[in-house]
Amino acid sequence: MSTRAKRPIPIKSSKISGAEIIYRSLEREGVKYIFGHPGAILLTLLDLFLKRSQIRHILTRHEQCAAHMAEGYARASGTVGVCLVTSGPGATNLITGITDAYMDSIPIVCLTGQVSTAMVGNDAFQEADIVGMTRTVTKHSYLVKKTDDLPRVLQEAFYIARTGRPGPVLVDLPKDVILGEAAFEVPEEPDIRGYKPTTRGHPRQIERVAAAIAEAKQPILYVGGGAIHAEAHAELLKLAETADIPVTFTLLGAGSFPSAHELSLGMLGMHGTAYANYAVCECDLLLAVGARFDDRVTGKVSEFATRAKVVHIDIDPTAIGKNKQADIPVVGDARLVLHELNKLVKAQKRPLWRKRVEKLKADFPLLFDSQSSPIKPQEAILTLSQEAGDRAIITTEVGQHQMWAAQYYNFTFPRQFISSGGLGTMGFGFPAAIGAALARPEKLAIDIAGDGSFQMVMQELATAMQYGVPVKVFLLNNYSLGMVRQWQDLFMDRRFSEVGLEVSPDYVELRPAIRKMIETPGPFILDVVVDPDELVFPMVPAGAATKDMIVRDDRKRALSGKLSALPDN
């Protein structure tokens, strides 16, 4: 949502209101949309959105969804998303969205109203210490105490959000700061003591990576969402093809490498492809790019990639070695590091390794039993992929449908797949799709939803209708909380407790229906009733090693009732 010149001209003016400073700061950052919900503290600022046309305010029906829409905008556009809410419950309702953005390194700036500075700490009406509450889930949080500080703080907020490892920044705006007056004086560039992100990798470390690639017999590229944030896809493709290295990606790395490429292994981890997980078990060099070795990828981390020398490339130095020790750490921007690495890497062919990987693909393909009724969710995703293809940006909610989307949709470009990763936020996908649709109006925005997740945020249909946002909802409806039901199916002897959604809204031949959804202007819900007994495989039980994954559903229930295999959440 934010675009700006690299060296903007300093701005000086006579005194203007705090509200005017906020609006001009947003204009200066290139903001086109702001997502929010009003309150009395914001009246003078909201009045400017009525009088001006440069920034369009999108009135959401819930503040959490304002944060998710800002996330969707940021994830689809690669710029900063912005949301604006009032004090107290308005601010606290943002916390889930802020945490989601923090976990997935998404650049958003959250503006919150606050009671007047003289009343802060007095338990005033609709007062909440939102800065204190969000300190651990933001890159930085500001409580602005003087109107004079507004230009600098807002400039810094956008700079922090988009640089280094991206993430959310919160700016709390007391009423008297908004109503006060000050000069609009903006530094040419932000100068924040102690915040100097490293973008260029150390040349010696990059040389060591190139040497390790040349020596490796069975290398794997393991790519996370950081590669997408860094716009590293072209350099990644060049490296993989030059050095003949198979590529696997995380859930948030989907789209960083074409799914259908001959070197693609698809997603790895808990519900990744079996052949990706087995290949990682066998590799002798694991090149992690913008990934953090999270538990959903590694399973039992002590047994993850035990034969491999580990290269870890990441812009965040605290991520390196946090979960898995790196033999060759490289701190820097993924695109810049890979660009320098590609200068050193020589063309190679690895026929034996490629033959082994192809055998793993042949021996452990993604499988499901196709049948007409009830519809298999995997078939629904495949058909959607065939019909929508690269015309669409796909968002998802969280659950079984999310994993099937990652497994079966053919992603061809970065930022095509938008999902909640680290926090696993149900209700994320639909508001994110609205944000994505506004960011990329030339694309179809399709939310692949589960019925449980969609019911949490379906009030935002009113938002889509009010602003004419042509978002589509591809609802995989199994009348249950499917992923929890799956764990109960596998590990609780099919005792299904508190997962049934038989009482649900009445949502409105599969392929013709998909075509109608795509061709119909405006918001559209396609209700696809799917088999409730269909489970997501492969699957690594929580706490198990990736090599011990359940490859397919043989209904033997060998692990039933083992509490040690229950998920942590």
How many alpha carbons lie under 13 Å from residue 97 in its C-beta half-sphere? 36
Q: Do domains 15-183 and 377-536 have the same CATH topology?
A: yes
- Which structure tokens are listed for 291? 């990934």
Indicate the pLDDT class of residue 542, thresholds 50, 70 and 90.
Answer: confident
What is the per-residue DSSP string for 20-46? HHHHHHHHHTT--EEEEE--GGGHHHH
Tell me the average pLDDT of the chain: 90
Residue 240 has pLDDT above 50, yes or no: yes
Q: Does the pLDDT value for residue 5 go beyond 60?
A: no
DSSP, res 202: P
H/E stretch holding 343 reads helix 334-344
Helix axes 233-243 and 334-344, enclosed angle (nearest 10): 30
User: How many other β-carbons are positioned within 10 Å of the β-carbon of residue 257?
Assistant: 25
- Which residues make Cβ contacts (< 8 Å) with residue 519, sequence separation at least 6? none
Ordered DSSP codes for 108-153: EEEEEEE--GGGTTTT-TT---HHHHHGGGSSEEEE---GGGHHHH
Does position 188 have pLDDT exceeding 90, yes or no?
Answer: no
Place of tokens 């508001």: 431
Q: Is-contact 462 65, C-beta < 8 A?
A: no
pLDDT at 1: 45
Which of 124-128, 268-272, 503-507 is predicted least confidently?
A: 503-507
Query: What integer is the mean pLDDT of 273-287?
Result: 97
Contact 103, 424 (CB under 8 A): no
Mean pLDDT of 323-348: 97
Task: Look at residue 81 and tell me whether its pLDDT is greater than 70.
Answer: yes
Region 145-174: what's the mean pLDDT? 97
Q: Check whether 50 has a pLDDT greater than 50.
A: yes
**Rounded-to-integer distance, Cα 227 and Cα 160, Å:** 19
| Mean pLDDT, residues 433-455 | 94
Q: So what's the pLDDT on residue 187?
A: 86
Please determine, for residue 509, whether its predicted confidence score (pLDDT) is greater than 80: no
Q: Which two tokens stand for residue 475?
A: 């609802």
Report whether pLDDT(39) > 70.
yes
Domain-by-domain residue ranges, the chain?
A: 15-183, 203-363, 377-536
318: CB partners within 8 A, 6+ apart: none
Pick among 3.40.50.300, 3.10.110.10, 2.30.30.100, 3.40.50.1220: CATH of 203-363: 3.40.50.1220
pLDDT tier at 294, thresholds 50, 70, 90: very high
Least-confidence region, from 460-464, 479-483, 513-517, 531-535: 479-483
Overall average pLDDT of the 292-312 stretch:
94
How distant, in Å, are the alpha carbons of 395, 479, 528 from that of 507?
A: 19, 12, 9
- Between CA 162 and CA 315 the distance in angstroms is 12
Distance CA 54, CA 37 (A): 19
Q: Which residues are catalytic?
A: 63, 125-126, 175, 483
Q: What whole-number distance in Å separates Cα of residue 455 and Cα of residue 480?
A: 11
Question: What is the structure's pLDDT at 189?
Answer: 87
Q: Does the pLDDT of residue 496 top 90, yes or no?
A: no
Which tokens go with 361? 């693909």
Q: How far apart are CA 429 and CA 147, in angstroms?
A: 37
Tell which CATH architecture fits domain 377-536.
3-Layer(aba) Sandwich (3.40)
Instruction: Please tell me the least confidently modeled range out of 214-223, 321-330, 480-489.
Output: 480-489
The 3-state secondary structure of 360-392, one letter per residue? HHHHCCCCCCCCCCCECHHHHHHHHHHHHHHHE
Q: Is the pLDDT of residue 230 over 60?
A: yes
pLDDT at 372 over 70: no
**Residue 479: band (very low, low, confident or very high) from pLDDT cuts 50, 70, 90:** low
Q: Is 467 exposed, middle or buried (0-12, 13-18, 19+ CB in 10 A)?
A: middle
Query: Tokens in use for 403?
Result: 């994993």
Report CA-CA distances (Å) from 142 to 131, 149, 297, 374. Answer: 7, 11, 34, 52
pLDDT (mean) for 9-34: 88
Residue range 451-455: average pLDDT? 85
Location of structure tokens 């009732």: 561
Side-chain-side CA neighbours of 285 within 13 Å: the count stands at: 22
Pairing of strands 15-17, 181-183: antiparallel
From the list 129, 62, 411, the residue with the least C-alpha distance to 266 is: 411
Average pLDDT for residues 293-302, to the nearest whole number? 93
- What pLDDT, on the 0 to 100 scale, is given for residue 488? 66
Distance CA(91)–CA(133), nearest Å, equals: 10
On whether the CB atoms of residues 436 and 393 are closer than 8 A, the answer is yes
pLDDT of residue 566: 37
Q: How far apart are the first and last CA of the chain?
A: 33
Q: Nearest 5°: CA angle at 180, between 176 and 186? A: 120
Asked if residues 450 and 400 have their Cβ atoms less than 8 Å apart, the reply is yes
* Residue bearing tokens 């990706």: 276
Percent with pLDDT over 90 in the chain: 74
Note the CATH number of domain 15-183: 3.40.50.970
Of 289, 303, 179, 196, nearest to 245 by C-alpha is 289
CA distance 500 to 478: 9
DSSP state of 88: T
pLDDT band at 492 (very low <50, low <70, confident <90, very high): low
Please check whether residue 521 is in contact with residue 441, taking contact to mean a CB–CB distance below 8 angstroms. no
Q: What confidence tier does 289 reach under pLDDT thresholds 50, 70, 90? A: very high
- The more confident residue out of 350 and 5 is 350
pLDDT value at position 527? Answer: 87
Query: Is pLDDT at 569 greater than 60 in this prediction?
Result: no
Query: What is the spatial distance between Cα 150 and Cα 179, in angstroms, rounded to a whole number?
Result: 12
Average pLDDT over every residue of 294-309: 94
Number of H helices, E strands in the chain: 22, 19
Query: How far apart, in Å, are the Cα atoms of 226 and each of 148, 312, 346?
Result: 36, 12, 25
**Per-residue confidence (pLDDT) for residue 528, from 0 to 100:** 87
Please check the confidence at residue 333 and state whether its pLDDT lies above 90: yes
pLDDT value for 37: 96
pLDDT band at 234 (very low <50, low <70, confident <90, very high): very high
Picking from 127, 186, 132, the residue whose alpha carbon sits closest to that of residue 159 is 186
Tell me, what amino acid is at 356? R
CB 127 within 8 Å of CB 119? yes
Q: Residue 490 and residue 567: Cα distance in Å, rounded?
A: 12
